Chain A
Amino acid sequence: MPQFQKKTQITRIERFSSDIVRLTLDSPDIASVAKPGQFVMVRTGNGKDPLLRRPFSISQTSNRKHFQILFKVVGRGTSLLSHCREGEFLSVLGPLGTGFTVDCQRMNCLVGGGMGIAPLLFLGKTLSRTCPENRPLVVVGARSKDELEPMVNDFNEIGLTVHPATDDGSLGHHGLVTDVLKKLDLREDSEIFVCGPHLMMMAVHFFCEERRYSCQVSMETSMACGMGACLGCIVPVKSGAYAHACSDGPVFDSKELLWQVK
């Protein structure tokens, strides 16, 4: 699997809200081989503090030349990134991890919460291109309309119908994405792709288990290297051992994982 370490130029910065930012990065190497569900490790500065790279899902690619990351400012690294300017260069490693497995014959349904929507945009785009006869359903949720609307628009642009949910009711269903998911008319052979907060993914997993749907989850853990070297990024699996989110994942069949409240 090709992987690159590149200085990539920021060609565009979009600020969706005070703390949600999307960067478009110029990297033909990464953009032309990346698959939905894969991620990159980004250096947020040039100094020794913060030291480690930060992981971000590849949220879209375009023309085999650019790719985007979409993130929320939660700490020092993301804050530094949010202050970057167009034309600046970022050191990026990627594409990393396994990515989603898709099957055009199934009824595909994307379920995203908060920044977990990032990789689903890429997946939605790929599915609508590779399975034009069978467009995926999309259910996404966030705190409020300002956070969610830009992403809903992106899905609409590629011709996908979106079922939104917000915590404050400012867009779509007032409540959880899982409420929306449960009301959808899903076929027996459904495949659910989910990325978002841990508790949301756990709820979707149990819902899928009950209905016998397949379910692929993208897991978030702390990561130092992103490439299988530090063994820091573990997720507990049913056999009692651990899997490594960066190299065995971040996408897993939800049945393989041991689900527990963190």
Chain B
Amino acid sequence: MASEVSSIDLRVSIGSLKLKNPVMTASGTFGYAREFEPYVNLHRLGAVVVKGISLEPRFGNPPPRIVETSCGMLNAIGLENVGVDRFISEKMVTLRQVNVPVFVNILGDTLDEYREIANRLADVEGISGIEVNISCPNVKKGGVAFGTDPEMAAAVTTVVKKSSTVPVMVKLSPNVTDITVIARAVEDAGADAVSLINTLIGMAIDHRSRKPALANVIGGLSGPAIKPVALRMVYQVAQAVSVPVIGVGGIETAEDVLEFMLAGATAVQIGTANFVNPRASEEAVEGLAHYVATERMGSIREMIGGLVLP
């Protein structure tokens, strides 16, 4: 299988960055990649996106932080992370030893924080791209999430883009009325790509204890349950922007990847599925190679936006 995979054209491009295949892993679901080494040949993936990094370390939310729901899960991790300095001095050291493009997912409470993180990452060796999580509350604007307002989303994009030397991908929140408006705003502000969707805000209640299942009361829904919503949003955004669209949400198998590519995605990210099947990402790559070979396609890129409408 290995030699077959390398002779088949699965390559895609995100701005100036060339990936050997469209399968990436989603932020917060793949640790710092090393956790998956016992299960996955990391160098066979298109790219990995690491857990969201903030300027200062964050402890995150109190437990319980996760709960399973029908065909999915809710999480309220609260963006626990080691902070940008320890990320650079510890995590990047091991990530550089893994032969796979690395996207660093960043988050902040203010524009200045986003700018500062991007600055500190700018000269760090081994980073192939930045993914900007804009689903965080803007503390200077009453806690409204950056990603729900086109102007704030554009402003974050501008500051990160100015400080970065690598492609910048902006990760869109689905918790908005019209996601294409935000997508266009960040494209105009210079985003090299958009990834979507982040988790959908949801809630679970235990009727016996009469308590919310999560200590944070609300959390982000992910997994197969959100796939139809993600697919619809990718389809709409792919028509609204000309930068590459990265599909995220409920993707588990090569078939799921093909569906997102048909809807217009150039690449995809696998998230929650990594928890269920740690080999999901590599198996998706194998499945795509098999598909391209049996369909006798010149390249996987033929799938992008290839949806046949009724």
Contact = CB atoms under 8 A, between A and B. Distances in A.
Interface of A: 2-5, 43, 48-53, 91, 93, 221-225, 227-232, 234-236, 240-242
B60 A229 contact: no
A230 B29 contact: yes
Interface residues of B, number: 34
Contacts of A229: 29-31, 35-36, 274-275
B71 interface: yes
Given A43-B276, A231-B80, A242 B60 contact: yes
Contacts of A4: 38
Contacts of A231: 28, 51, 60, 65, 77, 80
B71 A221 contact: no
B5 interface: no
User: Lowest 6 A-B CB distances belong to which pairs?
Assistant: A232-B66, A229-B31, A3-B38, A225-B275, A48-B224, A48-B71
B95 to A, nearest CB: 14
B56 interface: no
B73 interface: yes
A221 B63 contact: yes
Given A48-B224, A51-B71, A232-B77, A222 B29 contact: no
Contacts of A232: 64-66, 75, 77
A7 to B, nearest CB: 12
B80 A242 contact: yes
Contacts of B277: 5, 91
Contacts of B64: 221-222, 232
B59 A49 contact: no
A225 B25 CA distance: 15
Nearest to A242: B59
B28 A230 contact: yes
Nearest to A241: B59
B146 to A, nearest CB: 22
B68 A50 contact: yes
B62 interface: yes
B223 interface: yes
B111 to A, nearest CB: 26
Nearest to A229: B31
Interface in B261-275: 272, 274-275
Nearest to B76: A232
B72 interface: yes
18 contacts: A3-B38, A4-B38, A5-B38, A5-B39, A5-B277, A51-B73, A224-B66, A227-B31, A227-B278, A229-B30, A229-B31, A229-B36, A232-B65, A232-B66, A234-B80, A235-B63, A242-B59, A242-B60
